[in-house]
Amino acid sequence: MCDLAHLADPGTEISVRVTPKASRNRVVVEEGQVRVYVTTVPEGGKANAAVVKLLAKAVGVPKSRLELIRGQTSRDKVFRVLE
């Protein structure tokens, strides 16, 4: 898992590309894009919950400080770090 601690400042928006049903959970930065791979299926918000958990750990903030602001049902999502 990569270190994204520089994104932990309140108000920072993090754009991610999500790949559900991956072989393992991981967060990587490829070509400047944050990619989150989760093993869960995109049903009933399960994949979104897994993405929040992984991204929060990679950034170094509690899950409650990440807010999904765009892309609830899309593979491309934008999260905001709250105060």
Give tens-digit pLDDT for 2-61.
668 788 889 999 999 999 999 999 999 988 899 999 999 999 999 999 999 999 999 999
CATH number of the structural domain spanning residue 33: 3.30.1200.10
**76: nearest Cα among 7, 10, 20:** 20
| pTM reported for the whole predicted model | 0.90
Phi, then psi, of 60 in degrees rounded to 5: 90, 35
Predicted local confidence at residue 4, as pLDDT: 82
Q: Is the pLDDT of residue 72 over 70?
A: yes
Predicted local confidence at residue 2, as pLDDT: 62
Helices and strands, number each (H, E), in the chain: 1, 5
| Cα(75)–Cα(36) distance, integer angstroms | 10
Domain carrying residue 37 = 5-81
- Domains in the chain: how many in total? 1
Predicted local confidence at residue 3, as pLDDT: 66
> From start to end of the chain, where are the E strands?
13-19, 26-30, 33-37, 66-70, 76-81
